[in-house]
Amino acid sequence: MSPFPHLFSPFKIGNLALKNRLVMAPMALNYSTEKGGLQQRQIDYYVERAKGGVGLIVSESNYISPEGRSAPNRLGLYSDDMVPQHRKLVEAIHRENTPIIAQLHHAGRNAPSGAIGQYPVGPSAVPLLTKGQVYVGTIPRALSIPEIENLIEMYGRAARRAVAAGFDGILVHSANGYLLHTFLSPRSNKRTDRYGGSEENRARFLLEVVRKVRDVIGPDMPVVVRLTGEEHQEGGYGVDFICRVARWLEEAGVDEINISSGSHEEVEWTCAPRNFPEGHNVANAARVKAGVKVPVSVVGRIKRPEMAEQIVAEGKADLIWMGRALIADPYLPKKAQEGRVEEIRECISCGTCAIRIRQGDDMQCTVNPEAGREAEMKLVPAERPRRVLVVGGGPAGLEAARAAAARGHRVTLVDRHRELGGQLLYAAAAPHSVEMERLARYLAQAAKGAGVEVLSGTEATPDLVESIQPQVVVAACGAKPVVPPIPGAGLPHVFTAHQLLSGEIDERLGRRVAVIGGGLTGVASAEYLLERGHETFIVEMLDWIMADGNVVEKRTLTQELCERGVAIFVKTKAEAVTRRGVVISRLGEREVVAADSVVMAVGVRSDRDLLARLDIGDLEVHVIGDAQSPRRIIDALLEGARVGRQI
């Protein structure tokens, strides 16, 4: 019996039977052709998630009209020519005994003008104001009533194509700042005709689309609508309005309502970062569910089966939609159902996948290098098993060791630290970063489970190499902190971020601590200090902090620091450290900012000292991860995965 009996109980959406309550949420991939056509890479991606045991798959956004696409390589369903491609996808999913429904979509004012060759359209000429996004300053053209009526017909034609392709249902996307959502929102809909003003008028376009889709597909296929449960900005609507919209949708023939949140103006709500609560949309879903008889589902940073089970068991939602969690681990459903929770590769809520999509890049996952590379990353048994030594137990080394061992090589991994994880362990020390600790634990368990011999707390010495007699060496030695050559850097009250985040200097810190360096590590250091009651400030040479972070990290973490009173100096150089504080130079002036201790977080450099000391002669050597050059987790894991498959 599954440890999650409610989550893995059968369910029906209208006449569509599901084997469990887990739904793969729609998430654009940017793997399509420039004309919106499917490619084999997409099909491989979907099939892997069907194999993983999910109860239902919702396709990525299918734009119904060329001016409604969100990026150049989005999937389309605006032409009859696309039906055979979609049929190929549907048939591949059905072979895995999994249903799939088609998402119908129009980006509205979120459509970048460069991707559609014109300024976008919307209910009113209200610009999208989002700092750091490609959409800044775009003012949409207000749609005329005949154009709205034509779009309703386009939704109907796209639904007819979905039926012809064999899809099992239709999702009408009316959330996250896209066209139908902007008609619902008083922030973006300033119309005074029958499609604006009152709540009923703002909902009219959506309801007419739903009725058109229902008329086209008939009574037997389910129609699902996705809604933003509330808008978290001044002048936006609240959940009470969406409860009324849900009842109108039920009357219009909808079979399920999905509750999401956010838009491109509040991107942190659509792609919740690590400092957001898990399941942040559940309360709104429960409110909606209380007022309708049709099933209600919820999405939004729900990634652990324990939480999903609790939501369903408590009756707060009927179905759980997972997006990023199933990118990170397509086999999450099977692992959970079989009680193998510790084997789940958990999403770390970094936002890399979603931010890449919004920037027009192809979807990639930080923790799962196989996502979108299913064919390329297939593990093939080694033709000739070899003896492999991996030096370093960070993300790159662990992934390389796992992949190589899974292919049949005899692998030994050596790391001088007792706990495996490398740089992940420092990142895990910051508040809201428990996912990093879980990732380190997963990678270590996966390597051991693949048969890797792990020698932790062990120095890689020439004698050890001689005893192992490897044929291949993978150098994943990581990186070590950079200490800038400024006066006072060697004083006893100056420490590195690694020393801070390892917890080894907690008792030696004073009340007020300066952090020199405003990258992600510097911000993590400031968070760590705040949690322990210290005062802190950040000194950064660039124009802003977190230049190495994405827009969600920058927005949410900067806001958190500022709310907690952290002074942030930018375009500022740390000239020296004294016993009284830090000498800084900004705007042509020098001053001393008082500090009892100083933390250097100015970056790391590759650590190849160990490799130079080893006598590896003419052995085949691969240098990966930070030992190659300091970068992010996504680079380390991808390099490890590829090397482990090449050996």
Domain coordinates in residue numbering, the chain:
11-358, 387-480+609-646, 494-602
Distances (CA, A) of 277 to 123, 303, 556: 33, 12, 13
Q: What is the pLDDT of residue 203?
A: 98
Q: What is the pLDDT of residue 131?
A: 45
Q: Which residues contact 251 (CB under 8 A, 6 or more apart)?
A: none
Residue pair 570/543 in contact (Cβ under 8 Å)? The answer is yes
**Reported confidence tier of residue 443, pLDDT bands at 50, 70, 90:** very high
Question: Per the structure block, which two tokens stand in for 267?
Answer: 């991107």
pTM of the entire predicted model: 0.94
DSSP 259-307: EE---TTSHHHHS--TTSPTTTTHHHHHHHHTT-SS-EEE-SS---HHH
Q: Above 50 in pLDDT, residue 156? A: yes
Asked if domains 11-358 and 387-480+609-646 share a fold, the reply is no
pLDDT digits (tens, 9 = 90+) for 16-38: 999 999 999 999 999 999 999 99
In whole angstroms, give the CA distance from residue 505 to residue 575: 24
Average pLDDT over residues 48-66: 98
pLDDT digits (tens, 9 = 90+) for 185-242: 999 999 999 999 999 999 999 999 999 999 999 999 999 999 999 999 889 999 999 9
**CATH class of the 11-358 domain in this structure:** alpha beta
Q: Which of 45, 178, 426, 442 is catalytic?
A: 178
> What 3-state class would DSSP assign to 382?
coil
State the CB neighbour count (10 A cutoff) for residue 607: 17
Tell how strand 75-76 and strand 597-600 pair up.
unpaired
Distances (CA, A) of 47 to 57, 75, 88: 10, 17, 11
In whole angstroms, give the CA distance from residue 195 to residue 202: 5
pLDDT digits (tens, 9 = 90+) for 494-529: 999 999 999 999 999 999 999 999 999 999 999 999
DSSP 137-169: T--PEEPPHHHHHHHHHHHHHHHHHHHHHT-S-
> Kindly report the CA angle at 600 between 594 and 605, in degrees rounded to 5?
165
Q: What is the pLDDT of residue 610?
A: 77
Q: What is 494-602's CATH number?
A: 3.50.50.60
- How high does pLDDT run on average in the chain? 94
Asked if 178 is an active-site residue, the reply is yes
DSSP 185-215: -TTT----STTSSSHHHHHHHHHHHHHHHHH
Average pLDDT over residues 333-345: 97
**Reported confidence tier of residue 134, pLDDT bands at 50, 70, 90:** very low
**Reported confidence tier of residue 130, pLDDT bands at 50, 70, 90:** low
Q: What is the pLDDT of residue 274?
A: 87
Tell how strand 256-260 and strand 56-63 pair up.
unpaired
In whole angstroms, give the CA distance from residue 30 to residue 156: 24
In whole angstroms, give the CA distance from residue 351 to residue 34: 24
> What 3-state class would DSSP assign to 351?
coil
Selection from 498, 520, 516 nearest residue 433 by Cα = 520
State the CB neighbour count (10 A cutoff) for residue 587: 6
Q: What is the pLDDT of residue 343?
A: 97
For residue 561, give the amino acid letter: L
In whole angstroms, give the CA distance from residue 224 to residue 218: 14
Average pLDDT over residues 441-463: 96
To the nearest whole percent, how much of the chain has pLDDT over 70?
99
Q: What is the pLDDT of residue 612?
A: 78
Q: Above 50 in pLDDT, residue 133? A: no
For residue 553, give the amino acid letter: E
Residue pair 47/90 in contact (Cβ under 8 Å)? The answer is no
Q: What is the pLDDT of residue 554?
A: 84
Quick one: 609 exposed, middle or buried, by C-beta within 10 A (0-12, 13-18, 19+)?
A: exposed
- Residue 148 backbone phi and psi in degrees, to 5: -60, -45
The secondary element (H helix, E strand) that includes residue 581 is strand 581-586
Residue pair 367/324 in contact (Cβ under 8 Å)? The answer is no
Q: Please tell me the least confidently modeled range out of 123-132, 273-282, 433-442, 470-479.
A: 123-132
Q: What is 387-480+609-646's CATH number?
A: 3.40.50.720
Q: What is the pLDDT of residue 216?
A: 97
Q: What is the pLDDT of residue 137?
A: 55
Average pLDDT over residues 399-426: 96
Q: Above 70 in pLDDT, residue 136? A: no
DSSP 398-424: HHHHHHHHHTT-EEEEEESSSS--THH
